[in-house]
Amino acid sequence: MVVRLRGCAADERARISDQRVSATSICALPTPIPVEFASSLQQSDPVIHIANLTRRFGAKTALNSVSVSMPRGAVYGLVGANGAGKTTLIKHVMGLLKAEGGSVRVFGLDPVADPVGVLSRIGYLSEENDLPGWMTVSELIRYSRAFYPQWDDAYAAELRNTFALDSAAKIKNLSKGQKARAGLLVALAYRPELLVLDEPSSGLDPIVRRDILGAVIRTIADEGRTVLFSSHLLDEVEEVADHVTMISHGTIVLSAPLGDIKAAHRGLSLDEIFVSTARA
C-alpha cells in the first residue's frame, strides 16, 4: 500500500486521534521541510524513537513494552515470524495506530498528532500494495506527483526504466512483481527521508526481491536516508541490513548491529540465531 497525502478538514483530522486509524482516513498536505530545520538535524538524531510501546487487541498483547531507536542513514531489518508484531509496530510508526502505552516519535514528532510533519517525509510500501487498478502506470505517476512538491521526474523515469514498467499498461493487468515495482517507484520518486517497507518481498520472485532488497535499499542508505523494512525471510535481511531487531510474540528479543550479532554467534546464520534467541 502506498499512503497518499491529501489536504483535509478539521473534522477529518480529528479522527487521527482515534485509537485505530485506517490508512485511507489519513489526509495531510505535504509540505517541504524548512531548510533551517533540516540543517539542524544531526546524523546521530534518531529518525525513529520508540519507548515502552504497548499495544493490545482484546486479550492479546501485540506489543509488550517495546523500545527501539533508529538513527538516520542506515538499513534496519525488523524480523520475526508472521504474527510476531512487526506490522503492528510499523503501523504505530506510520501513525495508523495510537499507542496505548509508551511513546512513538518519528523525526522527533508524534505521527498520530502530526501526520503532516511525518507522512510527508516517508515513503511506504506494504505487502498489500493496493494501487488503483484502473490507472495506467503513466497515470499513476502523474497522479502521485501531484501530492509531492519534491517529486523528482527524472528519478521516476529512471526507476520506471530500471523496473521495465510499460507506461501504457493498466495496473490491474500487471503481475504481482510488476505491481510491487510500481508501488516502490511511487514510494521512492519524491526521495523520502525514511523508506518503510512492510514485508515487501513476500510472494515475489527472486529477481523482484533482488531489486527491492538489493540495489534500491542500498542506494537509499548510501544517500544518507533511512530504510526500515520488515521480513520473515531472514536470509534476505542478512544480505542488506546494517542493524537487526528481532521481535517474538510482541517482545524485542535482540536488537543490535548485524556485525555484532554475527560476531556473538559465530558460525550461525541469522535464521539460526533468531530460532535460538526466541527459544531462550
**What tens digit of pLDDT does each residue of 107-116 get?**
999 999 999 9
The pTM of the full predicted model, rounded to 2 decimals, is 0.79
pLDDT above 90 covers a percentage of the chain that reads 53
- Mean pLDDT along residues 59-68: 94
| Over residues 166-188, mean pLDDT | 92
Q: Cell 519507548 identifies what position?
A: 51
**pLDDT for 20:** 37
Where is average pLDDT lowest: 79-93, 114-128, 199-213? 199-213
Report d(CA 244, CA 256) in Å as an integer.
Answer: 6
State the average pLDDT for the chain: 81
**What span, in angstroms and rounded, lies between the C-alpha atoms of 184 and 117?**
21
Q: pLDDT-based confidence at 87, cuts 50/70/90?
A: very high
Could you tell me which residues come within 8 angstroms of residue 159 by beta carbon, excluding any fewer than 6 positions away?
184, 185, 188, 189
Q: Give me the residues paired with residue 252 across strands.
A: 247
pLDDT at 228 over 90: yes
pLDDT band at 44 (very low <50, low <70, confident <90, very high): low
Q: Which CATH superfamily is domain 10-279 in?
A: P-loop containing nucleotide triphosphate hydrolases (3.40.50.300)
Decide: 50 and 63 in contact? Cβ < 8 Å: no
Which tens digits make up the pLDDT trace of 231-241?
A: 888 888 888 89
Q: How many other C-beta atoms are found inside a 10 Å radius of the C-beta of residue 108?
A: 14
Q: What is the Cα–Cα distance from 132 to 171, expressed in whole angstroms?
A: 7
Helices (H) and strands (E) in the chain, counts: 12, 9
Closest alpha carbon to 246 in 271, 214, 226 = 271
On whether the CB atoms of residues 51 and 108 are closer than 8 A, the answer is: no
Residue 94 has a pLDDT of: 96
Q: Strands 60-71 and 46-57, how do they pair?
A: antiparallel
- Taking residues 85-89, report their average pLDDT: 94
- Whether 155 contacts 191, CB under 8 Å: yes
Say whether pLDDT at 12 is over 90: no
